[in-house]
Amino acid sequence: MQGSLRSLLLASASLSIAIEVFLLLFYIVFEKRRVKDQLLYIVLALVFSFISFTACFAENISERTGIPIKLFSLTVANESLSGLQSDLQSALTGSSRAGFGFIVAETIVSVFLAFKGGTRALKLLRILSFVNNVVYIPIFLLGKALFFVTTLLFLIEAAMMFIVPLCLIGTACLLPFRRARKVGLVCLGFLLVFGYILPYCVNSALVKAPRVPKLDYPEEWGVVLFKVVDESGDPVPYALIVLEFNRTVFVPCNVSSCCCPCCLCCPKNESGMFVVQMNEYGKRLAILPHGVYCVKSVIVLWINISDYSVSYCREVALANYSLGSKCFPVYGKLGEFSLEKGGYSDGVYSYKGDLVEVKITLRDFDWLVNETGVYCFSKAFVDHSEVSPLVLGDRILYKVVLEPGENMTVFFFGGRVKVRYEATNPNMSVVYRTRLSDSVFNCSIVGENFFKFLYSEFSMWWNRTRLGFIMRACR
């Protein structure tokens, strides 16, 4: 249906414009005094052709008004009114039965009063008469509501069967043409009333349809392959990379002077933060807006590591970028992602196309983890020489040969710690000196507020995206 209507619209618009252009050429040659009027007719043909294309498709109206397309659906309105009509009929039937019961009771009491009389029977008759009048009120209201809903349902069904289809054809065929434009405007008016206003009034009252949020997003995006490794070249899985960006955008000016060629916009600096998490392979393919990004910090587990180096592929660097030591550019066109092998890969997805490869190198740390999920790391030195440990689950074992009077320094970054030693010489005594010191590894504990902020921002982003809207609408 939409394909045929689109073809009909295109044919009508093309034919009307062709006729007006032909008349313009004719007037240029034979009647130049009518050229100006003919130019106006060409403009009107273009305008009304555009109106036809806009009004004949509900998605165009939805896009320009921000109203969910579901609210313009005659089918949804028909289903909603049919359900409401059924509910009203059931309620009216129940109320009528109750009213009939009170009428029967009132009749019996009246007959009883006619034969016997009495004050009690008279009071009972008055009570039943009052209750009968009260019961009649909802019956009257339900009847009016049922009549109104039935009328709306009749109009909706009539609109679905012949009014809207005829108006669509009339608008598409007649509105672009000068001689038939009045009839086309009448068809357009009926189309707006029965095809949009009527179903919108019904659906907005009976159907819940959240509005699709309007997203303001950058037009140009690039792909980055992040890698986080330690000095030994081993990947660091699930690390969080905190990125800062700064870019210049143009916004409408509120001043009289102009500062850009269009004289309608002014430059404005935008800054913000992105957080990218690595996968189990210590890599991640990410899509980011074009611009310059700087690595602010790298978070491993709950530890913020500031001692790291950043490098990116020099072959794709641009000369007009002024970068810091921990910054990199993002640019290029989006390529093709797939699950097949080939091209660039983060261990899960593969990518072919323009790409910036960023490598972040951390210091080697001896990580410790136990079944409670508590993480930490440790470093040990003897005479400024690092001691290689043996990590055994939730224990770190250092095997060293110490001479009398020799010191061993162990740095431990984490929570509570238990120290135990075993010596081959039973006569050797060990003196412990434990003190709290500033971190010598440029590390700090990430506060709980950061992760709360990260989760809240993710929730806001999810609720702003169309995917979240679609998933809510499909429930």
Separation of alpha carbons 126 and 136, rounded Å:
15
Q: 93 lies in a domain?
A: yes
Q: Give the least confident one: 162-166, 175-179, 216-220, 258-262.
A: 258-262
Q: 447 lies in a domain?
A: no
Contact 376, 411 (CB under 8 A): no
Task: Kindly list the distances between the CA atom of residue 428 and the CA atoms of 306, 387, 421, 422, in Å, as whole numbers in the listed order.
Answer: 40, 21, 11, 10
Query: Does residue 6 sit in the same domain as residue 115?
Result: yes
Query: Does residue 192 sit in the same domain as residue 138?
Result: yes
Q: 292 lies in a domain?
A: yes
pLDDT band at 197 (very low <50, low <70, confident <90, very high): very high
Q: In what order do the strands lie in the sheet with 344-345?
A: 336-338, 350-352, 344-345
The answer to whether residue 193 scores a pLDDT higher than 90 is: yes
Query: Does residue 300 sit in the same domain as residue 421?
Result: no
Contact 88, 152 (CB under 8 A): no
Query: Does residue 429 sit in the same domain as residue 338?
Result: no
From the DSSP assignment, how many helices (H) and strands (E) are in the chain?
Answer: 10, 19
Q: What is the mean pLDDT of residues 58-72?
A: 83
Separation of alpha carbons 35 and 20, rounded Å:
11
Contact 430, 420 (CB under 8 A): no
What is the residue whose two structure tokens read 């819940």?
Answer: 208
Contact 118, 126 (CB under 8 A): no
pLDDT in tens, 412-435: 776 667 777 777 777 777 777 777
Q: How many angstroms separate the first and last alpha carbons of the chain?
A: 28
pLDDT in tens, 286-302: 988 888 888 988 988 77
The answer to whether residue 154 scores a pLDDT higher than 90 is: yes
Separation of alpha carbons 353 and 369, rounded Å:
39
> Rounded to the nearest 5°, which phi and psi values hold at 432?
-100, 135
Q: What is the mean pLDDT of residues 25-45?
A: 88
Q: What is the mean pLDDT of residues 53-70?
A: 84
pLDDT band at 18 (very low <50, low <70, confident <90, very high): very high
Query: Does residue 247 sit in the same domain as residue 201?
Result: no
Segments of 172-315 assigned E as strands: 221-230, 240-252, 265-277, 283-289, 291-300, 303-305, 308-312
- % residues pLDDT > 70 (the chain): 76
Contact 356, 330 (CB under 8 A): yes
Which residues are within 8 A (CB) of 98 and not within 5 positions of it... i.e. 6 or more apart? 135
Token duo for residue 436 = 């709290």
Half-sphere exposure of 106 (CA within 13 A, CB side): 16
Type of residue found at 385 = S
Query: Does residue 63 sit in the same domain as residue 198?
Result: yes
pLDDT in tens, 229-282: 988 888 888 889 999 886 655 555 554 444 444 444 555 566 778 899 999 899
- Regarding predicted confidence, which is higher, 271 or 145? 145
Crossing angle between the packed helical segments 164-174 and 181-192, to the nearest 10 degrees: 150
Q: 136 lies in a domain?
A: yes
- Regarding predicted confidence, which is higher, 292 or 438? 292
Query: Does residue 243 sit in the same domain as residue 289?
Result: yes
pLDDT band at 451 (very low <50, low <70, confident <90, very high): confident
Query: Does residue 206 sit in the same domain as residue 248?
Result: no
Query: Does residue 24 sit in the same domain as residue 52?
Result: yes
Does the global pTM surpass 0.85? no
pLDDT band at 462 (very low <50, low <70, confident <90, very high): confident
Contact 191, 55 (CB under 8 A): yes
pLDDT band at 128 (very low <50, low <70, confident <90, very high): low
How many CB atoms are closer than 10 A to CB 343? 15
Q: What is the pLDDT of residue 237?
A: 87
- Domain range holding 427? 366-440
Domain total of the chain: 3
Q: What is the mean pLDDT of residues 74-101?
A: 85
Separation of alpha carbons 378 and 365, rounded Å:
7
Token duo for residue 87 = 């509910």
Q: 449 lies in a domain?
A: no
Q: 195 lies in a domain?
A: yes
SS3 for 298?
strand
For the chain, what percentages of helix, strand and coil (3-state, to nearest 5) are there?
Answer: 45, 25, 30
Task: Kindly list the distances between the CA atom of residue 419 and the CA atoms of 102, 206, 215, in Å, as whole numbers in the listed order.
Answer: 89, 69, 56
Q: 22 lies in a domain?
A: yes
Token duo for residue 452 = 């709360």
pLDDT in tens, 328-387: 888 888 888 887 777 888 888 889 888 888 999 988 776 666 655 556 677 778 877 878
Q: 445 lies in a domain?
A: no
SS3 for 24?
helix
Q: Give the domain CATH number at 285.
A: 2.60.40
Query: Does residue 150 sit in the same domain as residue 9?
Result: yes
Q: What is the mean pLDDT of residues 388-406?
A: 77
Task: Kindly list the distances between the CA atom of residue 441 and the CA atoms of 218, 247, 374, 399, 407, in Å, as whole numbers in the listed order.
Answer: 38, 32, 19, 23, 20
Q: What is the pLDDT of residue 90?
A: 87
- Regarding predicted confidence, which is higher, 372 or 59? 59
The answer to whether residue 471 scores a pLDDT higher than 60 is: no
Query: Does residue 435 sit in the same domain as residue 303?
Result: no
Query: Does residue 177 sit in the same domain as residue 204?
Result: yes
